[in-house]
Amino acid sequence: MMSRTSPSIELVGFPTSTPLSVTQPSSVHTKDDGAQSLAEDDVQPIIAPATIADIEHLEPLNKRTTAIVLITIVCVTMISSMLSGVTTIALPTMARDLNLAPSVLLWPISVYALTCGCTLLLLGSVSDVVGSKPMYLTGCLLQAGFTLACGLAQTGTQLIVFRAFAGVAISFCLPSAVSIITSTFPQGKSRNIAFASMGGGQPIGFSFGLVLGGVFTDTIGWRWGFHICAIINAVVFVAAFLGLPKLAAPQTQVLHRLKTEIDWMGIALGSTSLALLSYCFALISEETHKIREPTTLGLLITAISLIPAFILWVGRQEKLGRPAIIPNSLWRNRIFSVICIGVFITWGVFNAIETYLTLFFQDVQKISALQTSIRFLPAPVSGAIANVVMGLIAHRVRADYAVTIGVSLTTVAALLMGVIQPEWSYWACAFLAVFLNPIGADALFTVSNLVITSVFPSRTQGLAGGVFNTVAQIGKSVGLATSGVIAASITAQSKYHEKESPEALMVGFKAAFWYLFALSCATGGLFVWGLRGIGKVGMKRE
């Protein structure tokens, strides 16, 4: 029987007098046996509520099923990132072939993050009711179809529309992937490695997409980048359909539960605000003067005004014991709040550095797409190493040490690009910047997933995955938009008459890199203060 009582869930480092109260049926649901509280001086890891259903669901699986789960989860996130890499490197050629207007030049990239970010909370909540496997398979199939459609697009409008739908498709996959991991792998080393592998797929996929896009763009055509991704995605769908474990129990009264156990109003308020913010940031990142236009200002004000409305609504829902998409009580948890802020900033910094590295190589150093893609090869290597290491040591070392060191290395990447000169050799600064940039995001990926999934009850792991990925996606948009405004403004004010010249662009790019350096430094300081006492995460429960 479901209980509407509020279990206390505490993270290491929090006073026991201020428990984290979680209230709800589906959006934050728990069971009668509740959660275990940790003492203030306890050195055990962050833990989630345990239930009899969890124990039954986590019964030992054979190695074949475990391998299929891991491979399919890693592949679908890798393909998503790979598509972003292909689009980024091939964008100039696609723009010429499809007659993309300058005003929508960046939309094939930004619309994907926009539609993904504003549908994650909704589809994460639905996943908890419908089941993670059906949602994952649906997303996998849709992503394969829309990816193929991108490769077949004949106009710029078609490409943008198909990329938008592909963003929605991946929103089916990301939250359900987190849920599949938590329901397949028990707490401890195996779950740590699973999350680390999922995280490793993203930088590897993006960098491989850059390489693949560069090779195809300069040889058989950029469309083959999308075709190959669609084929791989179809193979992953078949493997997941045949190999993913079945649901632990049949889903019953689905329509009734969709109606009563999901905070639809909270989702509407939150998703609308995120969508409008993402749209405004996308406009501003294209042309900074658009921030002064009445339409942009109106949308921005509307988006910001929806934030307090969202807070008031979920607060009311929580007080009444009704479903609340993200209870306000979660934000009173210092470690949870700091992790979310850190993910937001770190993903923004990582994405912006990656983008400006691409522009530096092509627009300042004037090298080809193929040569640019080759220069990104160190990134998947460092990303893979960072994730493997985090998966192996997450339960052995203090989480604050691990993420602070990772973010510090990303800070070095931004610093190197802040002092670089266009005439310098690739090996002088750019190589190290490319190599170090992914480490912060990858080190944080495993820890943040373990923290965020731990504060959501077992029935709402899809929502937990939605929260993490929403924070990351919106962070990407904000990081790119704000750094873009700085770069464009400094370039416009530069002494160079030709604002599109490599010299003028470089002035703006350097300002953006210094801005990203400052953000990364601030994030490191935030982790030193905010994650003190967190201890180790991902330890096996006895």
Residue-wise pLDDT tens digits, 359-370: 899 889 988 877
Distance CA 487, CA 505 (A): 8
pLDDT at 538: 57
The per-residue pLDDT for range 33-45, each reduced to its tens digit, is 333 333 333 333 3
DSSP string, 469-528: HHHHHHHHHHHHHHHHHHHHHHHHTSS-S-TTSHHHHHHHHHHHHHHHHHHHHHHHHHHH
| Any domain includes 45 | no
For tokens 């490197």, name the residue. Answer: 89
pLDDT at 537: 66
Supply 131's token pair: 């089941």
Average pLDDT for 483-511: 87
pLDDT at 8: 34
**Higher-scoring residue by pLDDT: 167, 8:** 167
Average pLDDT for 513-529: 93
| Any domain includes 537 | no
Average pLDDT for 283-295: 74
| Any domain includes 51 | no
| Any domain includes 162 | yes
pLDDT at 459: 67
pLDDT at 286: 65
**Higher-scoring residue by pLDDT: 498, 426:** 426
Distance CA 43, CA 310 (A): 36
Number of domains forming the structure of the chain: 1
Q: How far is CA 337 from the centre of its chain?
A: 16
Its pTM stands at 0.77
**Higher-scoring residue by pLDDT: 153, 12:** 153
What CATH number does residue 346 fall under? 1.20.1250.20
Are 474 and 415 in contact by the 8 Å Cβ rule? The answer is no
**Higher-scoring residue by pLDDT: 355, 433:** 433
Residue 25 has pLDDT above 50, yes or no: no
Q: How far is CA 143 from the centre of its chain?
A: 17
Angle (CA) 121 124 126, round 5°: 110
For tokens 């996308």, name the residue. Answer: 282
pLDDT interval class at 192 (50, 70, 90): confident
pLDDT interval class at 461 (50, 70, 90): low
pLDDT at 328: 83
**Higher-scoring residue by pLDDT: 460, 124:** 124
Range of the domain at 504: 57-530
The per-residue pLDDT for range 50-60, each reduced to its tens digit, is 333 343 344 45
Q: What is the DSSP letter of 363?
A: I
| Any domain includes 9 | no
Alpha helices in 6-154 (DSSP H): 52-57, 63-98, 107-117, 120-130, 132-152
| Any domain includes 331 | yes
| Any domain includes 24 | no
Sign, CA dihedral 103-104-107-111, equals: positive
Supply 206's token pair: 């993006």
Are 195 and 391 in contact by the 8 Å Cβ rule? The answer is yes
| Any domain includes 247 | yes
pLDDT at 341: 92
